[in-house]
Amino acid sequence: MKIKITGFALLFVILTACQSSPQQTKQEPAHTSAKTLSTKQNNLYNPRLSKQAEQTAKKIKGVDEAVSVVLDKDISIAVKVTGFDRFKLKSIKKELHEKIRREADKKYTIHITTDKKIYKELSDLRSKLKAGSIAPEEQKKKFEKLNKDMHG
């Protein structure tokens, strides 16, 4: 008899705990879901132009790898240059800037760096943007910091 009462009480507790209250359903739309966050990011982040900028950078002689993020009106590109090509960094950056300027609208500001630390940070930011795991305010803040660091 005790087992039946205990089982019934346990079942009652589980069923009542799983029900959602009206207050919870009202609060849910106020929070941003992952889908909403991803939609907001897509308004700022331009993956198509970012991929195009990376491909352009990789075509330049001396550039081994490239990572790019296009957010709002800024194009930030970090490239890896190794070996004797490191002696030609200035000309590589200039050539890349000219090619990107021809391909993109004039409204974009172009930032280019060969700094390895910024390359890694920009790559991490791009991964987070693709995954949609970063808030729009935080992405803008990190991106602006990276752009500031690129110019010293």
Q: How confident is the model at residue 44 (pLDDT cuts 50, 70, 90)?
A: confident
Domains assigned to the chain:
2-31 (no CATH), 41-150 (3.30.70.1350)
Res 97: pLDDT:
95
Q: Is the pLDDT of residue 25 over 80?
A: no
What does pTM read for this prediction?
A: 0.69
Q: Determine the Cα–Cα distance for residues 89 and 82; give it in Å rounded to an integer.
A: 10
pLDDT in tens, 133-146: 989 899 999 999 99
**DSSP characters over 83-145:** GGGGGGHHHHHHHHHHHHHHHS-TT-EEEEE--HHHHHHHHHHHHHHHHT-S-HHHHHHHHHH
What pLDDT, on a 0 to 100 scale, did the predictor assign at position 94? 96
Residue 88 has what DSSP assignment? G
CA distance 122 to 1: 66
Query: Is it the case that residue 85 has pLDDT exceeding 60?
Result: yes
